[in-house]
């Protein structure tokens, strides 16, 4: 069974963000080195951890971050450990979105997906996101400017 739980533990969040399964694909040229990451916690910032059990004592499989973009829209970020990319990662993502719908005033969730990351595109599509636009040259990795798709999903009408 997969569960998600909110956390404010900076140490736990930092451990996920700096993990070698997550950091290289979620950072850009402006991201601090893994040891220097300092995640913010507080009002309007939601960090969720997915676990393989009914409680937070289970094995952690991924981290989800939601931050407010407007009064009704949150931006979505995700990091799933490699062994759990697949059915478990999809289930965890759906549960994280459900958690947000139940515990916040979110109506819409958006995310950005690099155009050269088809696995990430497929993941968010499977979670119900639709492509809403494209932003050219909006992120830089290893000195190369890349384009990103804006993806969105209405959670609550």
What are the pLDDT digits (tens) for 107-143? 999 999 999 999 999 999 999 999 999 999 999 988 9
What pTM was computed for the model?
0.93
Percent residues over pLDDT 90 in the chain = 80
CATH topology of domain 3-154: Aminopeptidase (3.40.630)
User: Per residue in 46-75, pLDDT tens?
Assistant: 999 999 976 556 789 999 999 999 999 999
Q: Is 148 helix (H, G, I), strand (E, B) or coil?
A: strand
Q: Is the predicted pLDDT of residue 27 greater than 90, yes or no?
A: no
Residue 56 confidence (pLDDT) = 59
Q: Domain segments of the chain: what residues?
A: 3-154
3-state helix, strand, coil in the chain (%, to 5): 30, 40, 35
């Amino acid at each position: 069974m997969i569960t998600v739980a909110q956390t404010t533990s900076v140490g736990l969040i930092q451990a996920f963000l700096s993990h070698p399964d997550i950091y290289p694909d979620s950072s850009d040229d402006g991201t601090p080195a893994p040891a220097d990451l300092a995640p913010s916690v507080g009002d309007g910032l939601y960090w969720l951890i997915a676990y393989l059990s009914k409680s937070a004592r289970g094995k952690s499989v991924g981290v989800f971050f939601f931050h407010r973009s407007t009064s009704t829209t949150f931006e979505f970020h995700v990091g799933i450990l490699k062994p759990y990319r697949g059915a478990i990662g999809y289930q965890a993502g759906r549960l994280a979105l459900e958690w947000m719908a139940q515990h916040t005033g979110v109506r819409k969730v958006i995310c950005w997906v690099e155009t050269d990351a088809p696995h990430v595109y497929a993941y968010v599509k499977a979670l119900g996101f639709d492509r809403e636009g494209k932003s050219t040259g909006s992120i830089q990795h290893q000195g190369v400017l890349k384009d990103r798709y804006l993806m969105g999903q209405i959670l609550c009408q």
